[in-house]
Amino acid sequence: MKIKNFLVLFATLAFGQFIKADEGMWLLQLMKQQNSIDLMKKQGLKLDADALYNPNGVSLKDAVGIFGGGCTGEIISSEGLILTNHHCGYASIQQHSSVEHDYLTDGFWAKNRSEELPTPGLKFQFIERIEDITYIVNQKIANGETSEIKALTRPFLDKLANELFEKSDLKNKKGIQVQALPFYAGNKFYLFYKKVYSDVRMVAAPPSSIGKFGGETDNWMWPRHTGDFSMFRIYADVNGDPAEYSPNNKPLKTPKYLTISIKGLNEGDYTMIMGFPGSTSRYLTVSEVKERMEASNDPRIKIRGVRLAVLKEVMDASDKTRIQYANKFAGSSNYWKNSIGMNKAIIDNDVLGAKAEQEKKFNEFAKNRPEYQGVVNKIDSIVSSTMPVTRQFYYLSEAFRGAIEFGSPFQLMDQMKRAINEKNDSLKNKTIEELKGVFAALHNKDYDHEVDRKVAKAVFPEYAKAIAAADRPVFFNVIEKQFKGDYNAYIDAMYDNSIMSSQANFDKFIKKPTVKVIDNDLATAYSRAKFDKTNEIAKLLNTGGNELALLHKAYIRGLEEMKLPVPSYPDANFTIRLTYGNVKSYDPRDGVHYNYYTTADGILEKENPEDREFIVPGKLKELIEKKDFGRYALADGRLPICFLSSNDITGGNSGSPVMNAQGQLVGCAFDGNWESLSGDINFNNQLQRCINLDIRYVLFILEKLGNCKHLVDEMTIVE
């Protein structure tokens, strides 16, 4: 076994010229098997594999977890203190904000534990255990208990996960949840045991003028001067177990937390990032890349563009609306701009050419391997037939499921009709209570009916411009026949008169519900038509979906075999990964060089009091002008803000810890650079950079601006 491992390592290093050393979102559980730990040590790592991931003990893995529903956070003290991005904590900051307590604008700093704010709905998840269950899935396929395609589906994997959980020694532990997932397109399967904490409290957040400095203008751009961080704390019961909020809960005593280094960084220094990258598509064919550009990205760009224009106008006009829609705007605009940049980078970086070269090599490899012959052509054929339908799906989803919030629970309305027709008072009363819950959820504190009306008036014509009449939902027929093609008249009628439009309309209906009112309700008909069209499109897409999934399984298995002995990593799927690289500058264009770090000088250079994105808080400006940076300054007296590294990241890695060769925290990952936004499809080692917040700027803001030295003192800092 040792000889075999040596030969694999030797071959890997011998063929090193084919390895893009910084590429890869590596599975922790395969580090030893794939010898990626040796490649990391060659790059500069000073730790052994068990220090990073130890299935039988405590490791760095135990200081990293899932923050909320789509970000990463890290533990930075022995008492459950979490560091993540400001944009990851943004929904929670907005949740606590109001015109009277505008934490988005003013920031939030808990001066003691009693001021830390409980945040209902916010969770933090640790990975307790990872098990390889590939052999179990394959055995079930071989026994006829499932098919190869059904083994990839969520119902099968959820059922299997629960079965295995019931047999495990963790089944009686509090807060444990399980998830089984396919990797390498279903060539491997892993089961994740997660420990979920639900009492997570907000501790610190800089004002948005720091946490979002540069706004959408600087998003995905370098140089960057954004203090993109926020802090939260995990609370647990007296035994340290997960528990719902209680004033009796205590800060979690964590088995592992990250030591912080403020020694500084130099070009070429080793960096590694552990986190939960959300989704990549590194194994697409040329036809699938084109589909991504035209059928997915284009609809997102166009529909979100018109929605964001409306939201920007109304948010600029009202503080109340700005707070209400802050999180929605940020979430929508992030991948709107990403899609624009991705389409541009695919062309600029010749991703289609790279994929064509990959296909050429694969087809050569497949010549004497029947199981791989014709795979690419079959994929292309399916994509060719489904691409127009995929485009319809994304336009429909972006317009009527994403941009427009208003609608009606038509299934409940059908239930009400049944109750009325059957004269079933029990069912009628039950339905009324359910409708009350839906109405309250729709008209929540972050929804404005008039804002949504304006969005609808912008979105409807944009959708109609893109989608042929025959392919639109049937409510467009109503617009043509009853409203003579006048979108605004239809929207006004629906937003004014529908059952769910206002409290007055709703109360009038539930006081005396009738079938006639339901049948004439525009919002109910609109919601039903939207649902029906979505189902119709989904069925069309599913026609080739199963075959495509199996073709991808073969294609990715073949690509993996073709690369041997060089190891391969699976696409990101929001599971814990490790990526390694170095602090690294880059040259995006002829005659242009970007340094690997920025300083506070750039904050003042970008300052524009007339532009909300570039306002500098008075106290911060004073500190910068006085150069009052304390121990966080560089040798030349300047204050570091952000830095670049060559780590391979994507969405979901937001908030991930950036660690040095000793495993000490030096920064917090928060963005990628504009020139490499095609990186989710094809990694470019020359251009792809991870934009990170320097931990020294975090500590400076906490101590000097937030007056939270007690939080800094809580951490273990290496100078």
**Do 637 and 526 share a structural domain?**
no
What pLDDT sits at residue 6? 33
Spatial CB neighbours of 379, under 8 Å, sequence gap ≥ 6: 285, 287, 288, 548, 551, 552, 555
Closest CA to 332 of 566, 78, 673, 90: 90
Where do the H-state alpha helices sit in 44-153? Answer: 49-52, 86-96, 103-106, 134-142
What pLDDT sits at residue 5? 38
**Is 190 within 8 Å of 29 (Cβ atoms)?**
yes
For the residues 202-227, what does the mean pLDDT come to? 97
What pLDDT sits at residue 36? 82
**Do 385 and 365 share a structural domain?**
yes
**Do 179 and 143 share a structural domain?**
yes
pLDDT band at 17 (very low <50, low <70, confident <90, very high): very low
**Do 546 and 600 share a structural domain?**
no
CA distances from 417 to 391, 423, 428, 511, 515 (A): 35, 10, 9, 14, 5
Residue reference for tokens 């392919």 = 471
**Is 205 within 8 Å of 189 (Cβ atoms)?**
no
CA distances from 235 to 24, 72, 211, 244 (A): 34, 18, 25, 9
CA 411 – CA 311 distance, rounded (Å): 30
pLDDT band at 15 (very low <50, low <70, confident <90, very high): very low
Q: Is residue 280 part of a domain?
A: no
What pLDDT sits at residue 35? 82
Instruction: Tell me how many degrees the CA angle 329-342-376 measures, rounded to the nearest 5.
Output: 130
Q: Is residue 4 part of a domain?
A: no
pLDDT band at 16 (very low <50, low <70, confident <90, very high): very low
Closest CA to 596 of 689, 697, 700, 701: 689
**Sign of torsion, CA 7 10 16 20?**
positive
CA 510 – CA 504 distance, rounded (Å): 10
pLDDT tens column, 560-613:
999 999 999 999 999 999 999 999 999 999 999 999 999 999 999 999 999 999
**Do 317 and 225 share a structural domain?**
no
For the residues 323-335, what does the mean pLDDT come to? 92
CA 417 – CA 660 distance, rounded (Å): 64
Q: Is residue 3 part of a domain?
A: no
Instruction: Tell me how many degrees the CA angle 319-321-324 measures, rounded to the nearest 5.
Output: 110
Spatial CB neighbours of 67, under 8 Å, sequence gap ≥ 6: 73, 82, 84, 88, 89, 124, 232, 655
Residues recognised as catalytic? 87, 228, 654
Residue 124 has what DSSP assignment?
A: E
For residue 223, is the peptide bond before it cis, meaning its omega torsion is within 30 degrees of 0? yes
Residue 393 has pLDDT above 70, yes or no: yes
Q: Per the structure block, which two tokens stand in for 293?
A: 């550009």
Instruction: Determine which helix (DSSP H) or strand (DSSP E) holds 205, and give its type and residue range.
Output: strand 199-205
**Is 670 within 8 Å of 692 (Cβ atoms)?**
yes
Q: Is residue 566 part of a domain?
A: no
Q: Is residue 355 part of a domain?
A: yes
Give the SS3 label for residue 35. Answer: coil
Give the SS3 label for residue 581. Answer: strand
Instruction: Determine which helix (DSSP H) or strand (DSSP E) holds 700, and give its type and residue range.
Output: helix 695-700
Q: Is residue 458 part of a domain?
A: yes
What pLDDT sits at residue 481? 96
CA 385 – CA 406 distance, rounded (Å): 33
E strands in 636-709: 640-645, 657-659, 665-672, 690-694
Closest CA to 666 of 227, 270, 77: 270
Instruction: Tell me how many degrees the CA angle 124-212-713 measures, rounded to the nearest 5.
Output: 55
Q: Per the structure block, which two tokens stand in for 590?
A: 């002829």
Question: Among 450-464, 528-542, 692-706, whose mean pLDDT is lowest?
Answer: 528-542
**Do 372 and 229 share a structural domain?**
no
For the residues 693-704, what does the mean pLDDT come to? 98
Q: Per the structure block, which two tokens stand in for 229?
A: 């961080």
Percent of the chain with pLDDT over 90: 93
Render 458-509 in DSSP notation, one character per residue: HHHHHHHHHS-GGGS-THHHHHHHHSTT-HHHHHHHHHHHSTTS-HHHHHHH
What pLDDT sits at residue 616? 97
Instruction: Determine which helix (DSSP H) or strand (DSSP E) holds 191, and give its type and residue range.
Output: strand 188-197
Buried b (16+ CB within 10 A) or exposed e, 81-102: bbbbbbbbbbbbbbbbbeeeeb
CA 129 – CA 192 distance, rounded (Å): 6
Residue 73 has pLDDT above 70, yes or no: yes
Q: Which domain holds residue 315?
A: 287-550
Q: Is residue 155 part of a domain?
A: yes
Number of domains in the chain: 3
pLDDT band at 544 (very low <50, low <70, confident <90, very high): confident
**Do 710 and 634 share a structural domain?**
yes
**Is 614 within 8 Å of 607 (Cβ atoms)?**
yes
Instruction: Tell me how many degrees the CA angle 133-30-139 measures, rounded to the nearest 5.
Output: 20
What pLDDT sits at residue 543? 77
**Do 338 and 443 share a structural domain?**
yes
CB neighbour class for 651 (10 Å; exposed up to 12, middle 13-18, buried from 19) = buried
**Is 199 within 8 Å of 245 (Cβ atoms)?**
yes
CA distances from 635 to 265, 274, 450 (A): 11, 29, 54
Give the SS3 label for residue 706. Answer: coil
Q: Per the structure block, which two tokens stand in for 248?
A: 């009796």
**Is 564 within 8 Å of 384 (Cβ atoms)?**
no
Closest CA to 228 of 708, 545, 653: 653
**Do 241 and 264 share a structural domain?**
no
Any idea what the CATH number is for the domain that residue 697 is in?
2.40.10.10
Domain closes at, from 517, 550, 583: 550
Residue 19 has pLDDT above 70, yes or no: no
Q: Is residue 270 part of a domain?
A: yes
CA distances from 360 to 229, 281, 406 (A): 44, 19, 49
What pLDDT sits at residue 175? 96
Three-state helix/strand/coil letters over 287-327 = HHHHHHHHHHHHHHHHHHHHHHHHHHHHHHHCHHHHHHHHH
pLDDT tens column, 629-649:
999 999 999 999 999 999 999
Percent of the chain with pLDDT over 70: 97
Q: How far apart are the first and last CA of the chain?
A: 43
CA distances from 523 to 453, 490, 501 (A): 12, 10, 9
Render 664-676 in DSSP notation, one character per residue: -EEEEEEEE-GGG
Q: Per the structure block, which two tokens stand in for 439?
A: 């109405």
**Do 587 and 497 share a structural domain?**
no
- Amino acid identity at 294: E
**Mean pLDDT rounded to a whole number for the chain:** 94
**Do 615 and 545 share a structural domain?**
no
Instruction: Tell me how many degrees the CA angle 94-96-101 measures, rounded to the nearest 5.
Output: 100
Q: Per the structure block, which two tokens stand in for 128?
A: 């307790």
- Please give the residue that has the higher pLDDT: either 39 or 479: 479
For the residues 32-41, what does the mean pLDDT come to? 88
**Do 271 and 313 share a structural domain?**
no
CA 147 – CA 138 distance, rounded (Å): 10
Whole-prediction pTM? 0.91
For the residues 384-398, what does the mean pLDDT come to? 96
